[in-house]
Every structure is written in structure tokens, then in C-alpha cells.
Amino acid sequence: MSALPQSRQLERLEQSSAEELLEWALAHFGGSLAIVTAFQAEGMVIVDLAARISPHVRVLTLDTGRLPEETYRMIETVRERYGVGVEMVAPDTAEVEAMVARHGPNLFYREVALRNLCCQIRKVRPLERSLRGLRAWVTGLRREQNESRADVRKVEDVDGKLKLNPLADWTAGQVSDYIRRHNVPMHPLYAAGYRSIGCAPCTRAVNPGDDARAGRWWWEQDAAKECGIHFAPDGKAERKLDVLLNEILEAKRA
């Protein structure tokens, strides 16, 4: 069975509701489909929706080694609430060791390219490895979240795999309403003023009215607030990132 539907079916899926898209995906891909989430509000809505459709849904999360303790508590909450075995995806130990030896543990504070390198080693490359065994994956991206996500489609072809964003057309209000109606577990850091949650050193609480991602890599000015999983870094940073990444891979092989 082909992983990619025909264009006419893709258009129908694009018009489907979040529940309909997940139901189709779980039936079509089975165990070769996984939800990839850091257990923020949108990801928890996806998990809750999928768990109501199938008790065998797969859930993957990236254990970067720098996550806040509250995220690990959320993993246990999800396991207990939904009965799913959360699959922890870790970075390559040799790559992390080579990066830290060359640039130090908190390299991300120094420049955008080094922050992108850390994201590549701890998040992007581990995700790429885990996706090799999948035909499709699900995220909680929404168009309303920020400008860089304004054109996100519900169904995307990413390197021959289907990337599904069932909440692409949802508003923040719809997410909140769903969580309230179904008593969906919430990440504890939301109560502390966080609106977007990633690694502990790179995330902080924001003030009321701030952009939802203002607390991510807050020390950076005029840089894309993305880790590279959903969008590539800006061209200048990407060229330097390639050099930095090759240095780490060569050190790993040495």
C-alpha cells in the first residue's frame, strides 16, 4: 500500500476534521503511524483524539537530555491516563559527546548557528532516525501559532512520508475548549506562565500578551524561532550549521 494518497484524496483529507483525519490515518497506516509530541496543549489534544479512536496509537517524544522535569512527569501522566507506552527517542551519545567537547554544554547561548547545531544533534537527527521506520507521523502544528506556520497544511509530503497536522485550522480557543470539555492533562509549566515548552535551558515563562513562542530562545534577535524539525533555519545559519555538523560527525568517527 502506497504511503502517499492520490491528489484527489489528499484534497478530501485536507477538508476533513481532525477526528476524521486521525481515524483515516490510524486505519490506513496502523503501527507505521506515530504521534510525535512534546506534550504541549496541541499535542495532548492529538493524543486524546487518537486514543479515543484506537487503544494502539503510537506516541513518540524526543528525550533531548535537557528536558525540564515537568515534561518527564507528563510522560508518566500520559502513560497512566491513556495506557500507551511512550517511545523515548534519544540523540546519538557519541554525537552529543563530540558536540559538548568541542563547544561546551551551553553552546546555544553564543550564536544562532550553534543553537541550530544543538537542535540538530539533540532533536532533528534523532527524529529523522525514528521516522525511517514510519510511513506517516502526526504533529500538533496550527497555522495560528505564528507567521512561519501560517501556510501549514493538514496533509504534507515530507521526503516521501506523510506528515499530518490535524489541528492546522484550529484556533487557540478551540484547543482550550477541547481540553476543558475532555479534561485533557495539561503540562505543569503552563500554570507557571509558559506558553511554548521545549528544553529547560532554552524555554522560559512569558508575559501576558507576548507571542506564544517569545519564551523560546529569547536571547536571539531577528532569528527564526524554530528548531529545524518543521522548518529549516535561515540560509546563513544553515550554511554555517552544515560546517559545524560535519565537524561533529568527523569527531564522532575519529
Through-space distance between the first and last CA atoms of the chain, rounded to whole angstroms:
42
pLDDT tens-digit profile, the chain (254 residues): 445 666 777 788 999 999 999 999 999 999 999 999 999 999 999 999 999 999 899 999 999 999 999 999 999 999 999 999 899 999 999 999 999 999 999 999 999 899 999 999 999 999 999 999 999 999 999 988 767 677 889 999 888 889 999 999 999 999 999 999 999 999 999 999 999 999 999 999 999 888 888 899 999 876 665 665 654 444 444 567 777 888 888 888 87
Q: What are phi and psi of 34, to 5 degrees?
A: -145, 145
Residue 202 is a catalytic residue: no
Contacts of 96 (CB under 8 A, 6+ apart): 65, 121, 122
Pairing mode, strands 161-164 and 87-89: unpaired
Grid coordinates belonging to 135: 510511513
Domains and CATH numbers, the chain: 7-253 (3.40.50.620)
- pTM, rounded to two decimals: 0.85
